[in-house]
Amino acid sequence: MDKRIQKVLTQKNFAFKYDGKESVCFTPKVEFKTVRNTADEREIRVRYIYDFGVAAEKKIIYYKRLDSVYERFSLENLTDEITEKFSDIRDFCHEFAFDPPTESGIGDMLKEDNVRLFSYMGSVLRHDEFLPAYQYLYKNYSEDITNGTGRSSDSRMPYFNINRLDEGVVVAIGWSGCWKASVKRTEKGVLFTSGVAGAEFFLEPRERVELTSVLITGYDDGYQDGQNRFRNVMKRRAAEIGHIKGPEDLPFSILLWGAMPSDKQIALIEKVTDAGIPINYVWMDAGWYGYSTGRCINEHEGDWGAHTGSWVVNKNYHPDGLLDVSRTIKERGFKYLLWFEPERVIKGTDVTKHHPDWFFKREDTTWLINYGNEEALQGTFEMLSNYIETLGLSCYRQDFNVDPLPYWNKADETGRAGITQIKHINGLYRLWDMLLERFPHLTIDNCASGGRRLDFELMSRSLSVTRSDYQCGFDPDEMSFQNHTMGSLALLPYLGTYAGYPGWEMTKYSVRSCYAPTFSFKTFCYENWSEHPQEEIDNVKKFAEEYVSLKPYFVADFYNLNMPWVTEGAWGIVSGNRTTPDETVWCAMQFNRKEEGDGIILAFRRERSPYSTADFILHGLDKDKTYELTDVDTGKVETISGEELAEKGYTVEIREKKDCRLIKYRAI
């Protein structure tokens, strides 16, 4: 067991103030319960019962093989009286042991053996989303961090890697609202605390609240292998909680705009089937509901958005209520993915007329549902369940296009800051858990203006077909897709994007730039796009067949072969210069299946790169074995020892700018 993980398991890792006094001033009674203890996993509950009538509880799961710990904190009022106020609540508070720090100063900060904090940009409609940056943790360094908008990965990702040379810990915050974190360098190590931002409240009689969680993974085999160990924990949780067990469960789809009439959707589904394009899902996006009568050609045109909250199939576009589309999807051997946005609705739509008390309201027309309201929660559950059953949905896509924090703050009672957010997020988890329990076949697609809610609690229950809305424009650039893949897959295993835009040439370089664990073609999305000549269909089929052959690799261990990209002082960690990858830099990534002894390399020479060759150190290989490497594009085959690949690297040659190479390798 990693020494840092052992200390997490054996220490009381929370703190708060009660009526202005630190919790260490009180001596609670401790109750310990083992829920289960298997060869691979141990789950316990530890309750700390205070004499002022409150129980603080830690739910703890230790994943033994992966050397990882899950902890979730809760508070419960055991009395029939209102409590005093809780403040400065640190749901997780732990000092990770590291060697003593150096004095601050440029020379000391750059010492190789100093401790670094890796942090990651969130989804903010930028070309460099999700990419990491690091800050040296010199003596007395401290920083308070928050995402600030109420969506958990908006601007900042709730993931951190505290690293020294080859050792460290990955710490993820599990909270789908507004979280806070604090990092402080101490003489003994690094003090990390986290919780709900702004939470300061009293508890009502018998009230219980679930607060934030953490997922912690220790490692001593290098930064990237530490990230992969964390990703493997996420795979395990997604399999156990979110029904995602492998690449066969991940959507590979065509995307259809919801306001495209049913007959045209059916014709396209049949065309794709007849062409033998090997997708497994049909994804229907927004615009299928409400009462629009005019043409809503795409998401940027028409009044479809004003009907968000009228959850009835629009009979003007879909006379048979989408039953004929659903039937065609099933008959053609595909699964059905359908878009909803139940949390954000527009004033005047059906649900706001029938249930105005379900929502938080502001001066504008956008209302936010209150999942702390049991009737609203159950009503949403029944509405979604009805569609899942009636249309035979295999994947429920939940979008969320509003910053919720102002609504929650406005709704908080005096003396109860943060309680509205807490109850809403608890309700959100309950909604998804109820859906997953009722429909064991169901997959949930997590969208929040793209990837703005990618915390590990939701990603334990879901995947994300669109990790960023940066791609929603009609002129996306390949470099951004590459950046997003390099950054996001270092954190999470089940994210994706799509390819195929009007006027966007589908080349090896452009399409492979979009390959990810989930993947879609937008080629057939809108009715006003081309008639899809045979040449286009053949091109889509060619890349679809290649993608399917590679799909198992995209859920394997992931290595960023361009680690010098990581820069100091980004995303507001500290002030200073910031550089990001540009078109002079190659992009290269490795997907390695350690048990199978094989993998792939994707290498991209960008448009302004002056370099025709690059050497890449490969990871996760057996140094005692020999590997056969095949360049799929040129047919070149080489046999190289694992030791040489791991120490000297592999040379990739790309003579043309804006070109790429796919290399497959296997142990022989």
Whether the Cβ atoms of residue 509 and residue 658 lie closer than 8 Å to each other: yes
Q: Where residue 474 falls among pLDDT bands split at 50, 70, 90?
A: low
- The rounded distance, in Å, linking the Cα atoms of 662 and 176 is 37
Question: CA-to-CA distance for 225 and 285, rounded, in angstroms?
Answer: 36
Strands 557-560 and 587-593: antiparallel
How do residues 549-581 score in pLDDT, each as one tens digit?
999 999 999 999 985 455 544 443 333 333 455
49 touches 40 (CB < 8 A): no
b/e for 342-378, b at 16 or more Cβ within 10 A?
bbbbbbebbbbeeeeebbbeeeeebbbbbbbbeebbe
Give the number of C-alpha atoms closer than 13 A to the C-alpha of residue 604, restricted to the C-beta side: 31
Longest Cα pair distance anywhere in the chain, in angstroms?
76
Closest by Cα among 633, 572, 624, 627 to 597: 627
In whole angstroms, how large is the CA radius of gyration of the chain? 25
Q: What does the block give as tokens for 269?
A: 């589904």
Kind and range of the H or E element at 423? helix 419-438
Give the pLDDT mean for 523-538: 89
Bridge partners of residue 591, in order along the sequence: 558, 600
What is the sign, positive or negative, of the torsion defined by CA atoms of 635, 640, 643, 649?
negative
Distance CA 530, CA 549 (A): 28
pLDDT of residue 467: 96
Across 187-212, average pLDDT: 97
pLDDT score, position 109: 57
Report the distance separating Cα 55 and Cα 30, nearest Å: 10
More confident site: 480 or 183:
183
**Residue appearing with tokens 């020294």:** 164
Burial of 82-117, coded b for 16+ CB within 10 Å and e otherwise, reads ebebbeebbbbbbbbebeebbeeeeeebeeeebbbb
pLDDT in tens, 643-654: 999 999 999 999
From residue 645, give the alpha-carbon distance in Å to each of 15, 599, 612, 649. Answer: 48, 13, 20, 4
Strand order in the sheet with 189-196: 92-97, 189-196, 179-185, 142-146
Q: Report pLDDT for 590.
A: 98
pLDDT reported for residue 138? 84
Residue of 570, 562, 521 lying closest to 541 (CA atoms): 521
Going by C-alpha positions, the residue among 627, 659, 316, 403 that lies closest to residue 507 is: 659
Cβ pair 478, 510 in contact under 8 A: yes
Q: Per residue in 586-609, pLDDT tens?
A: 999 999 999 999 999 999 999 989
Q: What percentage of residues in the chain have a pLDDT greater than 90?
A: 83
- CA 68 to each of CA 14, 193, 227, 497, 563: distance values in angstroms, whole numbers, following the listed order: 18, 18, 12, 29, 24
Name the pTM for this structure: 0.95
* Least confident stretch, 110-119, 278-287, 334-343, 420-429: 110-119
Q: How far is CA 234 from the centre of its chain?
A: 10
Query: 3-class secondary structure for 458-512?
Result: HHCCCEECCCEHHHHCCCCCHHHHHHHHHHHCCCCCCEEEEECCCCCCCCHHHHH
What Cα–Cα distance (Å) separates residue 222 from each residue in 8, 236, 399, 527, 643? Answer: 20, 21, 36, 50, 17
Averaged pLDDT score across all residues of the chain: 93
Nearest 5°: phi and psi at 351? -65, -30
pLDDT of residue 106: 57
CB atoms within 10 A of CB 600: 22
**The amino acid at 71:** E
Q: State the DSSP string of 125-149.
A: S-TTTT-EEEEE--TT-EEEEE--S
Which conformational region is residue 101 in: left (phi greater than 0), alpha (psi within -120 to 50 degrees), or beta? beta
Q: Following DSSP, what letter does each residue of 154-182 receive, concatenated?
A: SSB-SEEEEEETTEEEEEEEE-SS-EEEE
Measured at the alpha carbon of residue 325, what is the angle toward residues 323 and 329, in degrees to the nearest 5? 115
* Residue 9, pLDDT score: 86
Assess whether pLDDT exceeds 70 at residue 269: yes
